[in-house]
Structure 1
């Protein structure tokens, strides 16, 4: 898809639902959750979910950490925004606000939703993550603030994307 078509998809998809996703980092390791149900079942990803009405992005990220892996964030930083467009599955289209958490209370614990697992940053399980992850997650873990747009096709593969550092 050409850049002008990405612009058209963006124009047709304003006010997407918001999800906040957090990555716990310790030394040169990152915690990912192995999703047990729902969208992304069987994949590794950051810990997070839907923003509730009236919540700030940070409040959503903190709540989701507590619900999904039973930790409380002490230090959390927003790292940009990533927009996902699924023209063939509009209910999957969303804006994700990623966060990095470097200080927290509690031990990451398995819940009904996911199994937390630590990975060395240089050994991310990219082939067990959403296809877009290889284009933005490593850069975000380096501390870059990103804005991205990913358009998926009918096979849930990336049709086109653009990403920039803010």
Structure 2
């Protein structure tokens, strides 16, 4: 996990990630962003979900969720993130995005999630949620 140092979610505990670049797959993005943000290359990441975020103003963002249990390299802080280790039993939900409380436990139980979360335009409040899992 990381503590965001800047941008959307600054100060929150979250996960490495970012926008898919042109000619890049979501998987390639997950590998690249993790290496850029915390200095390690994840090995054999497995896709565990797709989450769609909507705002009342119509803005839509899609997040592809990957889980990796192996990596190469040494964790390091970047200008964007401070890497932190967290035990599954001690997930800091009070310092995370509100939607993480819904989908993350399902992923950690081995389920694939497909969720839609709607937020206010300032991202401060969740308006609605729908989560399917298998």
SS of alignment partner, residue 49 of structure 1: coil
Which of 35, 38, 45 is matched with 1:66 structurally?
35
Conserved? CA contact 1:79–1:100, under 8 Å: yes
Which one has a bigger Cα radius of gyration? 1
Q: 1:36 to 1:144 in 2, by over 3 A?
A: same
Match of 1:35 in 2: 4
Give, in angstroms, the shift of residue 69 of structure 1.
0.4
Which of 84, 97, 103 is matched with 1:130 structurally?
97
1:72-151 equivalences under 5 Å are 72-88=41-57, 90=59, 93-151=60-118
Provide TM-score, normalisation by structure 1.
Answer: 0.76
Give, in angstroms, the shift of residue 114 of structure 1.
0.3
Match of 1:160 in 2: 128
Conserved? CA contact 1:43–1:130, under 8 Å: yes
Conserved? CA contact 1:100–1:141, under 8 Å: no
Give, in angstroms, the shift of residue 88 of structure 1.
3.6
Conserved? CA contact 1:121–1:138, under 8 Å: no
Ranges in structure 1 where 5+ consecutive residues have no aligned partner? 1-31
The structure where strand makes up a greater share of residues is 1
Provide TM-score, normalisation by structure 2.
Answer: 0.93
Give, in angstroms, the shift of residue 68 of structure 1.
0.5
Match of 1:4 in 2: none
Tell me, in whole angstroms, the C-alpha distance in 1 between the residues paired with 2:56 and 2:21. 24
Alignment RMSD (CA, Å): 1.3
Q: Deviations for 1:50-88, whole angstroms, at most 9, x for unmatched residues?
A: 000111111111110110001011221011100011124
Tell me which moved more, 77-86 or 136-145: 136-145
